[in-house]
């Protein structure tokens, strides 16, 4: 008699996580040759390959810089995810560095093979996020039907779409450390005091240890708040926790799955309008009237 079989989701993500861990092992071998850039690229490539293999085709995964309509350009990011249905990137250089229009951006990520407190990785990422969120032109689009609440200003668009996000074009940010044995929570606390929730990454994935998330733990469940900067619940706080009930199994796959789930939920709950490209190209179309020549067509 035939019966239904089970798909082991945990094992699938465990294998994906192992590929990233193996990439770190290769990076250590390469690092020993003093090729530090190539060493770092091993892990970054592995994470981006994982995301590309799991993302629907309407999302684009790359790396590089964010550009706004005033041509201001961000520092380089290891992972950038954008809308692939219109203009995912403006430019790709010969070394595969890409330039992403600010309005098309869904998510920003930073990948580190090893946590090294002396490099202040969380603080540096917070500084770069602050540059993007504070100085680059990208107006927030608020959900006028958030939590099903309607008013005179509620848009028909939001009533029909019924998205879950308070800000429809919020940027989701994350960090991923493959080896976090020396992770020092004091650096995170210092960044929280300095930057608050607005410029901290939404989640920090410590692949071998757990996940840093914002929320609360009750007697029966963990409650996650995906967007700490917009959260007004004073009961929520930052928590570091490992995931997985089976103590004998590696947890890295669970932590990677947590990142994947939150990225998908974020993008499916977001709304990005088509980009107005004219501001990006205005400078190309500027001319002097005195230099213009009228062409008369003969009949």
Check whether 38 has a pLDDT greater than 80. Answer: no
Strand partners, 58: none
Cβ contact 200:225 at 8 Å: no
Per-residue confidence at 294, pLDDT binned at 50, 70, 90? confident
| Cβ count near 193 (within 10 Å) | 8
H/E element, 196: helix 185-199
| Total-model pTM | 0.89
Q: pLDDT tens for residues 215-242?
A: 998 888 888 999 999 998 888 999 999 9
Q: pLDDT tens for residues 116-134?
A: 999 999 999 999 999 999 9
148: region left, alpha or beta (phi > 0 left; psi from -120 to 50 alpha):
left
């Amino acid at each position: 008699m035939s019966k239904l079989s089970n798909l082991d989701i945990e094992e699938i993500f465990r294998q994906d996580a192992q590929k990233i861990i193996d990439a770190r092992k290769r990076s250590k071998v390469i690092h020993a040759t003093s090729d530090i850039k190539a060493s770092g690229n091993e892990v970054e490539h592995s994470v981006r390959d994982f995301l590309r293999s799991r993302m629907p085709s309407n999302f684009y995964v790359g790396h590089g810089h964010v550009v706004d309509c005033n041509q201001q350009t961000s520092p380089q990011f290891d992972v950038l995810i954008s809308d692939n249905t219109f203009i995912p990137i403006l430019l790709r250089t010969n070394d595969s560095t890409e330039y992403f229009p600010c309005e098309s951006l869904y998510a920003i990520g930073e990948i580190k093979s090893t946590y090294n407190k002396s490099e202040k990785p969380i603080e540096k990422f917070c500084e770069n996020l602050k540059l993007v969120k504070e100085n680059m032109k990208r107006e927030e689009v608020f959900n006028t039907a958030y939590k099903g609440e309607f008013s005179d200003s509620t848009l028909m668009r939001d009533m029909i779409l019924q998205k879950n996000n308070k800000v429809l074009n919020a940027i989701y940010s994350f960090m991923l450390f493959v080896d976090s044995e020396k992770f020092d929570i004091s650096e995170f606390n210092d960044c929280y005091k300095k930057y608050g929730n607005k410029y901290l990454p939404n989640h920090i994935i410590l692949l071998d240890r757990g996940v840093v998330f914002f929320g609360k733990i009750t007697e029966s469940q963990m409650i996650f708040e995906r967007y700490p900067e917009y959260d007004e619940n004073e009961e929520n706080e930052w928590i570091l926790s490992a995931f997985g009930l089976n103590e004998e199994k590696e947890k890295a796959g669970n932590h990677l799955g947590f990142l994947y789930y939150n990225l998908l939920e974020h993008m499916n709950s977001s709304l990005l309008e088509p980009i107005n490209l004219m501001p990006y190209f205005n400078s190309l179309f500027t001319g002097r009237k005195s230099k213009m020549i009228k062409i008369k067509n003969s009949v």
